[in-house]
Chain A
Amino acid sequence: QKEVEQDPGPLSVPEGAIVSLNCTYSNSAFQYFMWYRQYSRKGPELLMYTYSSGNKEDGRFTAQVDKSSKYISLFIRDSQPSDSATYLCAMRVQGAQKLVFGQGTRLTINP
């Protein structure tokens, strides 16, 4: 079993829809949670970063962490075609020098 599981999709939604992307994990020691966005044939870029449990909002993006369920989510409101990309979750244990990535979910927003 992988430490971090992410549905690879693909996920296709109409423009303006609310998108929910999720990851589950097995290591209860993970404390830092990140979402990266990767456009086709580009390197990933950091989108959101949260520590421990709770919510974090940045514009149209909201990251949620539920440590009791070992489950993290990324919500995209008012989705735009420019949001079409692969979204990767990543996690880290406090003090560790490695990130563990999910497989990535390919998202397409249709105009």
Chain B
Amino acid sequence: NAGVTQTPKFQVLKTGQSMTLQCAQDMNHEYMSWYRQDPGMGLRLIHYSVGAGITDQGEVPNGYNVSRSTTEDFPLRLLSAAPSQTSVYFCASSPGQGLYEQYFGPGTRLTVT
């Protein structure tokens, strides 16, 4: 049982490039979410999904797209990277929709130059 896995661990992009951050969980959790963590800002919700085929926006969705075609996977796409998207990105999953406990992945450190 690997829990929540994220790839890559580190990434450097140039402004304007696009990329996909991968997230997968093997716990059959319905709820999955993406956060970004910046110094002094805590964790901010980007997008979330309550099940396959269902996604919704969080607090800071601009510049990011998501889709959920399977229960296991929830990729985050950066459409045209900007330096303001330099951050640490965490994927999380939760059984059901009560959010009583979220399991976080190890994070992806992204730098946009």
Q: Which residues of A contact B (CB under 8 A)?
A: 4, 6, 8, 32, 41-46, 49, 88, 90, 92, 97-99, 101-104
Contact = CB atoms under 8 A, between A and B. Distances in A.
Interface of B: 4, 31, 35, 40-45, 48, 50, 56, 58-59, 90, 92, 97, 99-107
Contact of A43 (B31, B56, B100, B105): B105
Nearest to B43: A101
23 contacts: A4-B42, A6-B42, A8-B40, A32-B100, A41-B107, A43-B92, A43-B105, A44-B43, A44-B90, A44-B102, A44-B104, A88-B42, A90-B43, A92-B99, A97-B31, A97-B48, A97-B99, A98-B48, A99-B99, A101-B35, A101-B42, A101-B43, A104-B42
A2 B102 CA distance: 22
Nearest to B9: A41
Contacts of B59: 98
A103 B41 CA distance: 5
A38 to B, nearest CB: 8
A7 to B, nearest CB: 11
B107 A97 contact: no
Given A6-B42, A98-B48, A101-B43, A43 B104 contact: yes
Contacts of A6: 42
Given A41-B107, A44-B43, A104-B42, A99 B102 contact: yes
Contact of A102 (B42, B50, B101, B106): B42
